[in-house]
Homo-oligomer: A and B are copies of this chain.
Amino acid sequence: MSHVDLTKALASWSTDPDELARVSVDRSGVSPAGLPDLVVFAKDVDDVQRTVAYAAAHNVPVVPRGAGSGVAGGAVAGAGTIVLDLSGLNRIVEIRSDEAIAVVEPGVITAHLDEAAAAHGLRYAPDPASAAISTIGGNIATNAGGLRCVKYGVTRDAVLAVDAVLGDGTLVSTGRRTLKGVTGYDLTSLLVGSEGTLGVVVGATLRLSPLPVSTATASAFFATAEDAVAAVTAVQRRGLRPSTAELLDQATLVAIDEADGGDLHTRGEVFLLLQTDGYGAEAEMAVAEQVIRPLATSVETTTDPDVAARLVATRRAALPAIERHGRVLIEDIAVPRSRLAETVTAVASIAAATGVRIFVFAHAGDGNLHPIVLADSAPAEQVDRAVAAIFEHAIAVGGTLTGEHGVGVLKRPWLAAELGDPVLDLHRRIKAVFDPAGILNPGKAIG
């Protein structure tokens, strides 16, 4: 379809096959069938409304797109679709230090907002490892998490209000500029994490938080994952509130060392990066160190920001380092905190039983694991078996398919197993309220 009735009203769009190919994929490795019809580069909210209204009238699926850094296939777009690229709507409209809020367009890069906030002594707390490339709109659509979430919450906790274009092209504003408010239903939280299936996010009011006055960092090594998890549990049970608690397994340490010439993997089996922050950072870390020491093979603490930054950078290097070994499937299960240790063990057993190479790192403080499956390390059916076994385990222990990446297209087959049919049915009926024509990212998130 040529969509000329649409494009004649737009400032920027493309049907160039290279452009279409670029915007048809994200970082999931999913290959769509065919190329989209068109990519619209939205320059204002009118462009978004116009595109969605046109799509509703002509029954054409619209795939909202931020930076395409998603890893669940949420932004993947095949033949017969229109890609609605929001990355050009990238203005930080306002930062108010006295209210600690920011008003932004959806295409703002996460890290850019954080930097702009820093100029006011503030920060944007949700910090996905992809912050340098992902957009706020994509973060909202996936309810992105990150390293600081264990203390400061996920994207949902930072979103006060959203402007969204619904499936018929209507623009609505949900939420408010106040920190509290209970007038009406929480449509803002409903839009957060809806992966572009309920509305296109065209603006957001976000809560900022103060930059912590000081941060203390511990790096600890353990003989087993059980010991490392026991340390995190002990820290939390002791009433400490770490701002980061990241676990990396041996395979991940090896991959990082191979990439950067370091020696982490020689220093222990499992690595834990723990941080505390605020006025009591050092006092809190002193207690954490006491709690960790009996379980660890070594612990070092520091308040030197450069050393801490290097350690955090090491953690952020995990995924790229693993990706050097080949195509990866990035899993993202979350389990109740008390089931974390057995889950790390279960993933290792699954890897052994299927012969599939799996690396594990985890936001250990909130029970969110990333088993990274090397997709070509074994025959496809073994890889499928391994992935299925990981999901089955997560659901069996009361966990979830996805802690922060979203369902996209990749996790749809498991949706009913987690949600159950009555709840899934409720989802479909809610979707119909927001998107009667069913044109907003159909086939994603809720199947």
Contact = CB atoms under 8 A, between A and B. Distances in A.
A291 B412 CA distance: 53
A173 to B, nearest CB: 7
Given A185-B446, A337-B98, A446-B185, A180 B403 contact: yes
Contacts of A422: 170, 172
B173 A420 contact: yes
Given A213-B239, A233-B98, A237-B97, A423 B187 contact: yes
Contacts of A100: 236, 337
Contacts of A149: 180
A407 interface: yes
A174 interface: yes
B400 A181 contact: yes
A304 B210 CA distance: 27
Q: A100, A189, A238: which has the most chain B beta carbons within 10 Å?
A: A189
B178 A399 contact: yes
B233 A185 contact: no
Interface range on chain A: under 10, 10 to 19, 20 to 34, or 35 or more?
35 or more
B426 A433 contact: yes
A398 B176 contact: yes
A327 interface: no
B334 A401 contact: no
Contacts of A190: 185-187, 189-190
Contacts of A418: 183-184
A406 interface: yes
B193 A182 contact: yes
A236 B419 CA distance: 40
A220 interface: no
B337 A99 contact: yes
B400 A176 contact: yes
Contacts of A445: 184
Contacts of A404: 180, 182
A83 interface: no
Given A178-B334, A181-B334, A400-B181, A186 B156 contact: yes
Contacts of A187: 190, 423, 426-427, 430
A26 to B, nearest CB: 16
Given A99-B336, A185-B430, A334-B181, A240 B210 contact: yes
> 6 tightest A-B contacts by CB?
A279-B280, A280-B280, A210-B239, A189-B189, A181-B400, A179-B366
